Structure 1
Amino acid sequence: MTTPDLLFGTNLVAMVSPMEADGTISASGLTSLVDHLLTMGCDGIVVAGTTGEAPTLTEAETDRLVRGVVAQVHGKARVIAGVGTYDTRGSVHRARVAEAAGADALLLVCPYYSKPTQAGIVAHCLAVAEATNLPVMLYDIPGRTGVAMDAATLTELAAHPRIRAVKDAKGDLFEAMSVMAATSLAYYCGIDELNLPYLASGATGLVSVVGNVVADRNADLIGAVRRGDLGTARALQTSLLPLTAAIMRTSQGAIMAKAALAELGVIPHATVRLPLLESAPEHLARLAAVLPALAVPA
């Protein structure tokens, strides 16, 4: 059986969706951003996830983004398409469209707003997993969905041959270790503030927002943990704390990641779509203060 690091990668980035000043998808920005991510050592790109502003992308825009990234990476990185919604039929449709567009895998968020029972979550995820031949990474983020995937639910879903991984943005490290011990599910840290503890506890890799800017540092962090060099890993994590705080602890990750990429000249604008708003001046000042030290590898 193909291992999770080959199915999804290890150093994944939750890619922003570059936009022009008028809010339309920026073709030049997408090309520049994907080049940047590949150059920085990213081996998995999540398209149309939370950081990609999936709720405000049309299906046509999502398809365009997936197709554009697939064509550009040309096998140099895995392309994971976000297909989760609160509607099972809609998620099944999006999964099939993503497969047709050439995605390598699917990211499936726990259904949001409806707050289904655990049995409903299982039924939803199985329906999507059965819809294509692509491997599935579950996305457990109760702070956004309003409901968490219980450990028993994850264990049950792990029995499906195409459900292979979890992006964990729940932050319950003991539960994560318990599910890893009981199943073959690969865990990916979805909380940049906790990248090191998840990796040290057995996570396969990261799905990082901060990685839009410093995927190279994340690659070094993953490598250090895999070598057992925790001293280097701690130093790397410490060096990333100011940037992580500026992106993840100010307004919102998607907003601040775009602001950082625009400041670095990777994308043309920091435009986001309502209900998101661009960075406030005080947040931009905080970001500008930390970017110079992190623009090049240590």
Structure 2
Amino acid sequence: MTTTPCPSSRPSSRPFSRPFGRTLCAMVTPFTRSGALDLDGAGRLAGRLVAEGCDGLVLSGTTGESPTTSDAEKAELITAVREAVGGRVPIVAGVGTSDTPHTVELALAAEKAGADGVLVVTPYYSRPPQDALEAHFRQVADASGLPVMLYDIPGRTGTRIAPETLIRLADHPRIVAVKDCSYDFLGTQKVLARTGLAYYAGCDEHILALYAVGAAGCVSTVANVVPRQVADILDAFDAGDTARATRLQLRATPLIEAMMGTDLPGTVTAKTLLAGLGLPAGPVRAPLGPAGRETADGLRAVYEEYVSDVSGS
């Protein structure tokens, strides 16, 4: 598959490629009350996200609980979401594991199921050195025809993809993007300055900051709940209204903090809010557990204040 920019539904003068869209949602994986995969719910949630401003979807990432879904469930999820959204937006499938052959198998399965790209996280726990890490990513990229988004999240994996490694990997024709959760803004700018890799902010608090220095967009967990408002931040910047973009990013800060800045993973907080809004979510899978009532009430209060604030502006 050749990588081509996915045009945003909103005009932009940005000259570089957006291989997977601009406003991507790191979608939760809905489950039934009994804990089974909810394919109907996944389709309905995906449809809502696209209708409300997301022009790309990332499945089976961190927020999608990839460590606790089976290989078969991952493929079924891709198929169900593809049927729900058709060809309107790219689907990027998380396939990264700590095992290179297994990651290759998942990449091939994602391609067969209808994904447009794969998200490949740094192998975790084993903490490979940079040369082994580079070889891992190249082997996965060589295995299928799908373009690759590397996932740099050392806080979870224990290993950073060094900027120098990213610069070398940029020469691979199918390694086209990075989901950046490195919290190394200088390192990110070095790679942006020296490669054509499309960077996507993987931390919601960095959406505008990274976009302002040349990122292609974001992969947002908060967008599960407020997709339109996340897209509005980038819309304002693309329209040249940087003051409004700044206001919108800052107004989102309390919700971002409530969802992403506590001991609870974003998966838990996103599913808690979605359930409270009557949207497909379901429980999280062990070892994660549900948010307590006090936490759920606090999340809902922050959400309602934020939505009221932005709707009145």
Which band: TM-score by shorter chain?
A: over 0.9
Supply the AA of the counterpart residue of 2:66. A
- Asked whether the equivalents of residues 44 and 84 of structure 2 are also in contact (C-alpha less than 8 Å), the reply is no
Which residue, 72, 84, 87 being the options, matches 1:72?
84
Q: Does 1:283 align with 2:295?
A: yes
**Code of the aligned partner of 1:22:** S
- Which of 227, 234, 251 does residue 239 from structure 1 map onto? 251
Query: Counterpart in 2 of 1:249?
Result: 261
Q: Report the equivalent of 1:14.
A: 26
In structure 2, what is the equivalent of residue 266 of structure 1? 279
Unaligned ranges ≥5, structure 2:
7-16
* C-alpha RMSD over aligned residues: 1.4
Q: Does 1:224 align with 2:236?
A: yes
Matched, 1:162 2:174: yes
Q: Is the 8 A contact 2:40 2:80 kept in 1?
A: no
Residue type at the aligned position of 1:132: S
Query: Which region of structure 1 is more displaced relative to structure 2, 174-183 or 20-29?
Result: 20-29
Structure 1 residues 208 and 166, CA, compared in 2 at 3 Å: closer, same or farther?
Answer: same
Q: Is 1:121 equivalent to 2:121 in the alignment?
A: no
1:23 to 32, 35, 49: 35
Give the secondary-structure state (helix, strand or coil) at the position aligned to 2:146.
coil
What is the deviation of 1:28?
A: 3.0
Per-residue Cα deviation, 1:182-225 (whole angstroms, up to 9, x for no partner):
01111100001111111111111000000101111111111222
User: 3-state SS of the aligned residue for 1:8?
Assistant: coil
CA shift, 1:20, in A, is: 1.1
Cα distance in structure 1, aligned partners of 2:114 and 2:258: 34
Give the CA deviation at 1:278: 0.6
Identity of aligned pairs, percent?
A: 45
**2:110 maps to which residue?**
98
1:28-43 paired onto structure 2 within 5 Å: 28-43=40-55
Map of 2:4 onto structure 1:
2
Q: Which amino acid aligns with 1:180?
A: L
Task: Using the TM superposition, name which of 31-40 and 285-294 deviates more.
Answer: 285-294
Instruction: State the TM-score, normalizing by the size of structure 2.
Output: 0.92
User: CA distance change for structure 1 residues 192 and 35 in 2, over 3 Å: closer, same or farther?
Assistant: same
Distance in 2, matches of 1:14 and 1:282, equals 25
Q: Which runs of 4+ in 1 moved over 6 A?
A: none
Structure 1: which 5+ residue stretches go unaligned? none
Per the TM alignment, residue 238 of structure 1 is displaced from its structure 2 partner at its CA by 1.7
**Structure-1 separation of matches of 2:84 and 2:281:** 19
3-state DSSP class of the match of 1:3? coil
Q: 1:183 aligns with which of 175, 195, 204?
A: 195
Contact 1:36 1:266 in 2 (8 A): no
State the shift of 1:11 in Å: 0.3
Taking the aligned partners of 1:267 and 1:294, their CA distance within structure 2 comes to 21
Q: Secondary structure at the match of 1:49?
A: coil
TM-score, normalization: structure 1?
A: 0.96
- Change in Cα spacing, 1:86 to 1:3, as seen in structure 2 (3 Å) is same
Distance 2:204 2:18 in 1: 22
